[in-house]
Structures are given as structure tokens and as C-alpha cells.
Amino acid sequence: MMYAPYLARPTTVSTVMFKVLAALLPAIATSVWVFGVGVLVQLALASVTALVTEALMLRARAVPVAPFLKDGSALLTAWLLALSMPPLGVWWLIVVATAFAIVFGKQLYGGLGNNPFNPAMVGFAMAIVAFPAQMAAWGIPHGPLSALDQLGWIFARELPAHLTLDAISSATPLDYLKTHIAPDMSATQVMASPLFGHFGGAGSEWVAFAYVAGGLYLLQQKVIAWHTPVAMLGALGLIAALMHLADPWYYSGAPFHLAAGATMLAAFFIVTDPVSAPVSARGRLIFGAGVGVLVYVIRVFGGYPDAAAFSVLLMNIATPLIDRYTRPPSFGAANRKRKEKSR
Amino acid sequence: MRQLYRFHGGIHPPEFKELSNGTPIVSPPLPARLVVPVSQHLGAPAKPCVAVGEAVLKGQLIACADGRVSAAVHAPTSGRVVAVGEADVAHPSGLLQTCISIETDGLDAWIEKTPLPNWQEADNETVRAFLRDMGVVGQGGAVFPTALKLGVSHLDTLIVNGAECEPFISCDDRLMRERAQEIVEGVRIAGTLTGAREMLIGVEDNKPEAIAALTAACAGTPIEVVSVPTLYPSGGAKQLIRILTGKEVPHGMRSTDFGVQCFNVGTLYSLKRAIVDGEPVISRIVTLTGELERCGNAEVLLGTPVEHLLAWAGVNTRCDGVIVGGPMMGFPLESRVAGVGKAVNCLIARSDTLLPPRPPAMPCIRCGACADACPAQLQPMELYWHAKAREFGPAQEANLFDCIECGACSYVCPSQLPLVDFYKFAKDEIWAAERDKKAADRARARHEFRQFRIERDKTEKAERLAARAATPAPAATPDAAKADAIRAAMAKAAERKADVAPPTEDAKRAAIKAAMARAAAKKAEQQDAGTPPKPALDDAKRAAIEAAMARAAAKKAEQQGTATSEAEAVPAPAPKPAIDDTKRAAIEAAMARAAAKKAEQQSTATSEAEAVPASAPKPAIDDAKRAAIEAAMARAAARKAEQQGAAAAEAEAAPAPAPKPAIDDAKRAAIEAAMARAAAKKAEREAQKGQDPQP
Amino acid sequence: MNILLTALGVMAVLAILLGAILGFASVRFRVDADPLVDQIDAILPQTQCGQCGHPGCRPYAEAIASGEADINQCPPGGEDGIRKLAELLGVDFKPFDGDAAEPKPKSVARIDEATCIGCTLCIQACPVDAIVGAAKQMHTVIESECTGCELCLAPCPVDCIRMVPLGTSVETWKWRYPVIPIRTIKA
């Protein structure tokens, strides 16, 4: 017979993971609407790769396969990675990145619960470092490719006769801004390009809103805590607003930074990954703020257009340290100190 | 409306209280036999003070409190004591503990009740001693002797815990509904004893009937009934104190330091029964729930076997185990014959449909749900990692001992980890390590003192020899006598050696001799078998009669004047009266001295009387500093020797039933046999030595 | 030449200054005893049994501190003791040697009073004075002080001392390590 407590909430790890997966559905739908079925292809490729790799690794580690495949964590890693990768990326890119994420980001550290880094971000970082060219070609929102053409492009890199590469892909708004800003071209002027939509990129800004919707669902379900997303978005928005105030010529404002790139995906789905983030409330605030600052710094001053992955990985390194120094005082600890002092 | 405070965390588990809180408290039929544990409280187990076969009356003292942190145990009904010894108890270890078994006679005849009607005039000390002897302990679960918690005056707030937050349990609920008047009386007594300015009864708001009953009973008194929001574990003493007063009592500090004291309603009820009605604690309300035909609350006599209660309540066939306590903090009962103790507030007949087994555990994903639920504001996952890795130091740094083991963390854990088990494991390991450390420190101190003593004896001997060598004239005559004695002793020693020598030459003969000696010894033993102490000693029961033997031995030792133990305990200048035969004593001493002279390493081979006695009266030490140290050490030694004296005296009882010549013969025979055996052993060793090099 | 002299002078002054600082520090911050020995001694179980080949725990501690003895020589300390020593000294954990004595469950000595002849040999052997008695009188072991070192067994001429393993009581009972079948390794 087991020991106490004999009552337990029926929530399991799978429940948590599948809630997060469910929260991604609006963003997936929006992505498909904006970028086409390529997104679904990427998701499917990533999912299959993740599950196969996970199963092989579990078997190699002599760990029961079924319960760990069913927990949904590998699937979540796959989906998060697929949503951060270019929707029209070549098929092997997502496969390699996912396999790398599962093997090196998760299983080699001991599997579920033991990875110090966010596995999806490990895979993304590998891809952007190793295959910068393939990663740079982002699909044009509401592009000219039909569903079938998208499949042909992803799997065989074949384009319909009347189209060129430039017609179907472009740089992301962040990339575009970074390369076009100059002493004779202000941020505002650059952002007048139709690529930028209303806030952070035509089409992709709607995906960002979908991420927010999913995030709110997770907050409501108490799957994630408010601390990390609020701290990250707050820090990023604040620093962007301050820089914009200081020099509006070079620095775009807070709304753009919040809506652009992977900001919202990171804020609600990446930094809230419990395994690689601190646990205490204060720790989560520090962690989120750190990611926010790093995202801005790398985006604006660094060599990469977007920075969520690197910022998250850098803060992951700091997680044990943050945890150690933000342990909340235990019940009555303040009183104990006071009494000891008075003695 | 009072201002209430919140504690961190907390959970809302399903309550299951409606299973048992709808029916009034009933009394189960008298079982044929009660098994009353003597340790039903925190602290030293009570000492049984009845003999097997003795008839006892209901309420009669059967085990008295042993020391300050203890409580007495009383016969729950009238009958006959049929056993005093180890029996099953309701404890997670499933180990046996001392219990007093009583065969009930069905008469349920009370002993004369002894209330304390003038408790208001009596001083606090008297009332506390009375409560201890009435066996009043905390009935909330910790079973801490109540007497100790009343040793305060001018309390700010007296808190009465009627929260009863754990699922399934409803014994306090029913008690409050049905006996509110007596509880309130108990609160008034406790309030007066502690000089409380404010008296609050905290009850969770899921028990409106109890709140109504108490409010009615409190009318016209300064006691206030406070309805607190239902949130597990608001019934934890610290949590309830926090809710009602806002004060946080940290681990390791007493709540009285903050002007608060907390009692369970059941405790104050039994306190009232003891003081006003003169009834000791012989029963308690127990919730019987789960897979039973008739769930409800019963006033159960302590010691009633669980089996009896379950049979009476009608166990379903689905039931596959019994949980003692609630589902959050309880433990599985190892044996259903165990008797109910003062800590048993609930018995749950469990089944998989009632309490489904947990899904298989997964690794911790650091989600922090446990930290959000922890009422002690801990980081349970951190404690879990450390405990799992057996890193007890870091676990303690992470405030492991602040954990109240409420189970809230484990309840919310999505990985379904048995977190509290890990904490209990870690705590027990740390306590065990602490015990070992203490034992090691004591052993180190004793070892160091022993070495110091040997060194000191050596130098003293050298000094004495030097002094004697310097002034040979004055002590001429005694020296001559001593020299004679030494010569005699040496001769004897030589003889003995010669005795030993032949067997070394012939191992076969030695073996025969040994066999013969053994036979002789056996005969001697058989001769002695008539005397009672020996078989008793051989028996494992030795521990039980230890005390009696020690007393008898002490008496005998005094009469005989052979009390070497006294020579040890009292810093006597010389072991003069140690052995009845003065002649033998002289030879003995001489032999010892001779031995000392022979080999300096063997200087410790002096008799024990010389080895251990306190050296306080020996002013022969030159260094003043050392003398001071020594005095202190001697004092310690004297204290120890006192304890040892008892042990030694007891030891003496065995071989010395009476100084009658006949037995002396037997004894001598035994000694001779033993000596022969010793010779044989040596011979065997020699023989082995001889054989060893060959293969 | 001048430069050379200046350089030499500066060097000399520096040498004197630094030497003075070092000398002062060595006096001012001197550590009295060798604390390492004390720390090691604190870890050792103090049975004084000599199974490590040293006459007591402190000599063994000194031997470890001076690097003469290995950390895996103390059976009463158990593997836990080795682990603590390894942690203190910053070396790797080392299991007991194959031929070393195996750790035994904690026991105490008990004298068979009927056989004891009162020779005091065990009293002399006991490193912690846990045996009381006098010459020609029966001896007995104070159980609470006995470390279970077994040093009294050998000297007894009549073999009347045996080791009695200490059972678990409710006071010494420990919660077992929770077993969670996460990693059921397939055979």
C-alpha cells in the first residue's frame, strides 16, 4: 500500500503538457492562415521526428518508453520548435533541428525534468548557427504559393516556373529593420514598408496575438505563472520605450518589439517552461526580466535579427543561481531572526 | 467580525466528511480484550505498574508517567491484566511496543473518581501534575502531554483548534456538536490556568452545526467562536495561530514565546473530564469511515483492537486496508489487532474505488505547484531533490525541518511524487545521524578520559616509586611485608604458568582437559540451576527484571560488605573493604603491584577498584592546573561511577545469591572450570599457531 | 650601474616588506592545531576498534591527514563514512577493499555473567570504559556506552562475551527510502 497522502489531484504531467499544446492551437491556425499549409508540414515533420527520436533515446537509456512518450513533452518541444522555424524551410532542416533538440537538449541530460536548457531553443539555436542561409528565408505572408507548391518547395525545393525565390520569401521584419536602418533612413521610414503591417510585421503580428490568447488560457488554467511573461514583456517594452525616447531615429518603439518576431511565443510558451526556469516567484521575475533585456540587446546590438533563443538559453544557465538566491523565507523565518537578534 | 489572516498555500481536497458526520457518537460494545499501549504520547513511555493477573478497575492507573515529558495510562474498563509485554500498536513502523493487555469482565466497574474540585486555588504545578497523572495529552495528533503546555501565565491568546481540516475525519465535529458545553468548560479551565486574555475557538466554516452549538455554549463567556475559511491545513496549530492572530511561529520556537497557545477541542474536553469529573483519559472519539456498513463516530475505549471496531461497523468486502488518521497524513495499519491509542482520531477502511491509487510517478518537472501549495512556505521540490540524492545537509539548509508533513505538496504534484515520504526519510536519517554523532562524541570523550587516566596513573606510579626509592628507611617494615607478598604472588604466578605450560606441549591433552572442564562447568551450572537468578539471566527477559534485581543486589551488597561498586562510587582512599577476605586482598594487591613493576604497559592491570575510582582525594599531583582539571573530571567520573555502581551492583547479584559455603563450593568449581577453559583456549590458540605455518 | 643599484635596492626593499607581511601574517593568523585531523576525527565513528590498523580513531585520523592511510579502512563508519571523508578531503569515493572487514550491523557486547570469572581483562581492553566490575567479581557492559568495537572479545579467557546486534526500536526506526518505479530497467 502506498503512503500518505492517499488523496491526490488527478493532474498529471501529460495533463499539463496537453493543455500547453491546446493553447498553441490558435497560433497554429493563424500561422496556417498567414503562411499556408507549410506550417502544418513543419509541425508534422517535427512531431514525427521528435517522437521517433525520443522513443529511440528512451530505449537506449533502458527507460520504459510508453509513459514518457505519452507525457506529451516531446510533442510540445516539436511544436514549439516548428512554430519558431521558417514555415517554408527545407524539410531536413526541421528534422535535424528537432532531433538535435531531443537528443542533445533533453535526453542526454536525463530526459524529462532534467534538462537545464529549453530543448526547443537548443534546436533552434543549432539551426540558426549551422544553417543561417536556410533559416533566413522566411515566407512572405499570404504568399503566392499554393498548398501543393508549398509542399514541392519544402520537400524538393522546386518552384513553379513563373516564380523566383525572391517572390516567395523575404527577410523577417526584424532582419529587414536591422539591415536597412542607416543615418539617412530612420526606423520610422524603414517601418513604412508594407512588410511591417500595423505593429510588428504583416501577418505575423496576428500570430503574436494568437500566442497571447493561448497564454491567457494557460494563465487561467494556472498552468503557467504570470511572473515570467509579465517580467519579460515588461522589461523588453520598457527598455525599447526608453531607447526610443532617447533616439527615435535608430530605435523603434515598444509596440514593434513586443509584436515582432518570437516575442510573444517566448513570453508565454518558452520562458514559462518550468523545467529550465526558476521556481520561486522572485526568481521568475528576475528570469523573465533577464530574457527581456537580452532579447532587446541582441536584437538591436547583436549579430542576429531575433534573439529569443539565445536570450532564453543564456538565462537558463543562470537558473540554478537564481533559484539559490531567491529561495523565499520559510514560515515564520522573519520572526525567528528577530528573536535570535533580541537574545 | 474579527480580522482573519491568510497563510501561504493550502489546498481544497474533497472532504468526504458527510460519510461520517451525520450520526451521533455511539459506544461500541466492550471487546473481550483490550491492548493498551504504554506509549500513547510524545516522550518517555509510561512505566507499567500492574502485575499480570492483577484485577483492575475502570480508571485505575496501570502505567505511571515516567519523567517530565510523559503521561500516565489508565485501565479503560474493569477486568484482569493478562499480559504486560510487546504487542502490535498503531505505528507506521509496524514494530511491537510494550502494551498492557486487559481481559474485560463486562462489569465496567469504576474506581473511585478523584476530581480536582479546588483547581482554582491549587497552584499551577499541582494541576499540571494532576493532568499528567490523569493521562491528558493533545488529541489533535501530536499527543504532546498537555500538562507541559499549561506551564505558562499571562497568555495573550488561547486558541482552541476545532478546525479539523483533514478529509474524512469528523470526530471533533461531532464532539463540538454534542458536547459543546463541556468543551467550553474545558476552555475556561485552560484559559484560567494560562491566564489568557483572549480565548478563541477556531472552527472551519464547513461545520456550521458545530459553530452554532459552540456559539450557544459560549454565550455569556468571554470565549469567542471564530469561523475560519475551509482550507487544508488550517487545522495545523501554526496555521491556525496565523489565521486567528496573524502571528507566525517559526519552527523550533514555542508559540508561548509569541503569547499564544493552541489546544485541540478533544484535549480540552478530556481536560475538563479529568479535573471536574475525575475521569482519566480512557477513551476518545474515533471516526470510523470508508468502506464500512455503518460509518460514524464512536467513543472508543483506549486499547480496543481495530479489528473489533471494524467488525462492529461492518467492513465491506471491497476494503483492502486500514488507514490510521486522515488520508493526507495518516499511515497504513500494519496489524488489525493493534489497540487504539490516544492519537488515533480516524480509521479509514480503504479501497481502490474510495481512494484510487496514484498514477505512476514521473520525474519532477519543477512546475512549482508544490511551492504554491506549501503552508510552510518551503520549496518542496528542492527538498525532494536533496532528499532523493541523500544530500541531507542542503536539505536542512532548505529548511526541511520546517515541513509539517501535511501532504499538500504531494496532493498537487502533477508528477504524482510521494514527496512527504522523502521528507520523512530525510528527517529520520538526519536524526539517526545526530544520534550517532552524539554517541561518537561521548565515546570520544570517554576514550580520551581513559587515556588521560592511564597516563596519569603511570606518572603517579613513577612518582611514588621515585619517592620510595629516595626515602627507603621510614617504610621499612611494611615494605618487607610487601616484598614477601610480592614474592609469594610471583611464585603463584610462576606456578600458574607452569600449569599452563604442559597443555601447550600437547594440544590433545588440552582438548581433553577442556572437555572435562566444560563438563565440570556444566555440572556446576546444573547445581546452580536451583537458584533463581541464573536462568533469569540467561533469559531474554533479563531486561524486565533488571530494576528489581538491581535493588536486591544493592541490598545484598550492603550486607555483605563486598560492594566494590561502592568503592567505585565513593572516592575511597583504598579498596580495603572490597573483598571479605583481607588476606586474599593483600595478595591480590601485591600481585597487581608486581605485575605493574614487571611491565609498564601492564600497569593498567591493577584491579578495577584502582582503575576507575575518582582521584579527588589524591593531592599528590604537582601541577595546580592539572589538579583543577582532574577535579572536574573526577567529579564527572564520580557521577558516572554512581550510574556504573548501580550496574555493577546488579551484576553482582547474579553470582552471589548468598555467601553460603555450599554455593561457595559450586562457585569455586565454576571458577576452576573457567580457569581450565582459559587454559584450554590458550592451548587451542597455540595449537593453531603451530598449525598455521604448515599449510 | 646606477640603474642596477636602484633595481637591486627596490628589490631588496620589496623583499623585506613582503617578508615582513608574510611573517606577520603567519604569526597573526596562525592556526593552532591541525584542524584537518579534528575534522577527520569528527567523521570517524569513535568505536576505537582498531580495525583500520591504527590504535584508535584519532591515530587513524592523523594517518589520513598525513596521507599515510587510505580513507576506506573504517568498517564501522560504513560507506557513508567513506563518502563523508572523500567529500572533506576532496578525493574520490573508494569502496572497501576486498579483504577488508565488512561493515556489520551495530552491536553491543554482552557478558555472560554466569561464565565470567572476573579477570578484568576485558575492562582493560575496553577503550571507552564501558565495562564495569572488579577483580574476582562479575563484570557487565554498560550498553549505552558500548561502541561495539569487539576489542573485549579476544582477551576474555573464557569466551564469555558475545556481540548482540541492536535491533530496531520505535525510537531508532527510520522511514525507508521511497521507491518510485520510474526507471524499471528491462532485463
Q: Can you say whether the dihedral through the CA atoms of B409, B413, B419, B420 is positive or negative?
A: positive
Q: What is the pLDDT of residue B586?
A: 44
Min Cα–Cα distance to chain A from B8, Å: 8
Q: Please tell me chain B's helix, strand, coil percentages from 3-state DSSP, rounded to the nearest 5.
A: 50, 15, 40
Residues of C in contact with B650 (CB under 8 A): 140
Omega before residue B280 within 30° of 0, cis: no
- pLDDT tier at B410, thresholds 50, 70, 90: very high
| CATH number for the domain whose boundaries are B17-332 | 3.40.50.11540
pLDDT digits (tens, 9 = 90+) for B308-359: 999 999 998 899 899 999 999 999 998 999 999 999 999 999 998 999 888 8
Distance CA C135, CA B585 (A): 10
Q: Is the Cβ pair C186, A3 closer than 8 Å? A: no
Q: Show which subunits contact C, needing at least 3 CB pairs below 8 angstroms.
A: A, B
- The reply, when asked if residue B346 is annotated as ligand binding, is no
Residues 68-107 of A with CB under 8 A from B: 68, 71, 73
Whether the per-residue pLDDT at B510 is higher than 90: the answer is no
Instruction: Write down the pLDDT at residue B594.
Output: 46
Q: Do B647 and C132 touch (CB under 8 A)?
A: yes
Convert the pLDDT of each residue in B147-175 to its tens digit: 999 988 889 999 999 999 999 999 999 99
pLDDT digits (tens, 9 = 90+) for C132-178: 888 888 888 988 888 888 888 888 888 889 888 887 887 788 888 88
Q: Highest mean pLDDT range out of A303-307, B534-538, B605-609?
A: A303-307
**Tell me, what's the pLDDT at B226?**
94
What's the pLDDT score for residue B48? 93
Q: Do B412 and A279 touch (CB under 8 A)?
A: no
Residues of chain A positioned with their CB less than 8 A from the CB of C176 = none
Closest CA to A84 of A37, A45, A121, A131: A121
Least confident of B321-325, B331-335, B586-590, C78-82: B586-590
Would the CB atoms of A3 and C183 count as touching at under 8 Å? no
**Would you list the DSSP string of B350-411?**
E-TTTSPPPPPP-------HHHHH-TT---HHHHHHHHHTT-HHHHHHTTGGG-----HHHH
* Residues in a beta bridge with B339: B89, B305
B165 is in an annotated binding site: no
Domains of chain A: 13-164+181-325 (1.10.3430)
Q: Please give the pLDDT value at position B94.
A: 85
Which parts of B123-188 are beta strand (E)? 157-162
Subunits touching A (CB < 8 Å, at least 3 pairs)?
Answer: B, C
- B295 is known to lie in a ligand binding site: no
Q: Count other C-beta atoms under 10 Å from residue B532's C-beta.
A: 10
B681 pLDDT band (50/70/90 cuts)? Answer: low
Interface of A with C (CB under 8 A): 3, 62-64
Would you say residue B552 has pLDDT above 50? no
Dump pLDDT digits (tens) for B513-528. Answer: 555 555 555 545 544 4
- For A326, the closest chain B residue by CA position comes to B379
Residues in C touching A62 (Cβ below 8 Å): 183, 185-186
Q: Domain residues of chain C, as ranges? A: 35-89, 104-167
pLDDT digits (tens, 9 = 90+) for B128-154: 999 999 999 999 888 899 999 998 888
Q: Is B49 annotated as a binding residue?
A: no
Tell me the per-residue pLDDT of B98-107, one tens digit each, with 9 for 90 and over: 999 999 999 8
In percent, how much of chain B has pLDDT > 90? 52
Q: Are A306 and A262 in contact (CB under 8 A)?
A: yes
Tell me the chain C residues in contact with residue A64 when contact means C-beta distances shorter than 8 Å.
183-184, 186
- Residues of chain B with pLDDT > 70, as a percent, come to 68
How far apart are the C-alpha atoms of A281 and A292, rounded to whole Å?
A: 17
User: How far apart are the two ends of chain C, measured CA to CA in Å?
Assistant: 83
Mean pLDDT of C113-125: 87
Say which residue, B537 or A248, is predicted with more confidence.
A248
Q: How many residues does chain C have?
A: 187
Interchain proximity A64–C178, CB inside 8 Å: no
For residues C65-81, give the mean pLDDT. 85
Are B423 and B382 within 8 A, CB to CB? no
Size of interface A-B (CB pairs under 8 A): 151
Residues in C closer than 8 angstroms to B440, CB to CB, are 44-46
Q: Verify whether the Cβ–Cβ distance A329 to B330 is below 8 Å.
A: no
What pLDDT, on a 0 to 100 scale, did the predictor assign at position B597?
46
pLDDT at B549 over 70: no
DSSP-assigned letters across all residues of A264-294: HHIIIIITT-TTTS--SHHHHHHHHHHHHHH
Question: Domain C104-167, CATH 1.10.579.10 — does that match?
Answer: no
Q: What is the pLDDT of residue B473?
A: 54
CATH of C35-89, one of 2.60.40.10, 3.40.50.300, 1.10.15.40, 3.30.420.40: 1.10.15.40
What's the CA gap between A295 and A235, in Å, rounded? 10
Instruction: State yes or no: pLDDT of B570 exceeds 80.
Output: no
In angstroms, rounded to a whole number, what is the distance separating the alpha carbons of residues B417 and B327? 16
Question: In this complex, do B366 and A3 lie within 8 Å of one another by their Cβ atoms?
Answer: no
Are residues A269 and A80 in contact, defined by beta-carbon separation less than 8 angstroms? yes
Sheet with B157-162, side-by-side order of all strands = B223-228, B198-204, B157-162, B260-264
pLDDT(B587) > 60: no
Question: In whole angstroms, what is the distance from residue B674 CA to residue B666 CA?
Answer: 12
pLDDT (0 to 100) of residue B513: 53
| Distance from C-alpha of B256 to C-alpha of B150, rounded to nearest angstrom | 10
Share the mean pLDDT of chain C. 84
Instruction: With CA atoms as reference, report the closest residue to B187 among B197, B176, B201, B169.
Output: B201
**Rounded to whole angstroms, how far apart are CA atoms C144 and C131?**
11
B43-91 pLDDT, tens per residue? Answer: 889 999 999 999 999 999 999 998 888 999 999 999 999 999 999 999 8
Give pLDDT, residue B606: 35
| Residue C21 to residue C44: CA distance in whole angstroms | 38
Q: Which of C147, C146, C121 is nearest to C134 (CA)?
A: C121
Is B14 in Cβ contact with A9 (below 8 Å)? no
- Residue with more model confidence, C71 or B478: C71
- C45 in contact with B, Cβ within 8 Å: yes
Chunked into runs of 10 residues, chain A (343 residues) has average pLDDT values of 78 92 95 90 95 94 88 94 90 95 94 93 93 82 81 84 75 79 78 74 84 95 93 95 90 86 91 92 94 92 84 94 90 80 69
What is the Cα–Cα distance from A120 to A316, expressed in whole angstroms? 13
Q: How far apart are CA B327 and CA A11, in angstroms?
A: 18
| Residue C88 zone, left/alpha/beta (φ > 0; ψ -120 to 50; rest) | alpha
CB contact under 8 A, B440 and C46: yes
CA distances from A285 to A230, A280, A319, B369, C169 (A): 8, 9, 12, 17, 49
Residue among B348, B379, B414 minimizing CB distance to A15:
B414
Question: Which pLDDT score, from 0 to 100, does residue B651 have?
Answer: 41
* Chain A environment of C185 (Cβ under 8 Å): 62-63
Q: What is the pLDDT of residues B212-240, one digit of tens each?
A: 999 999 998 999 999 999 999 999 999 99
What pLDDT does B465 receive? 93
* Shortest Cα distance, chain B CAs vs residue A323, angstroms: 10
Band of pLDDT at residue B484, cut at 50, 70 and 90: low
**Mean pLDDT, chain B, whole residue set:** 77
Is residue C6 pLDDT above 90, yes or no? yes
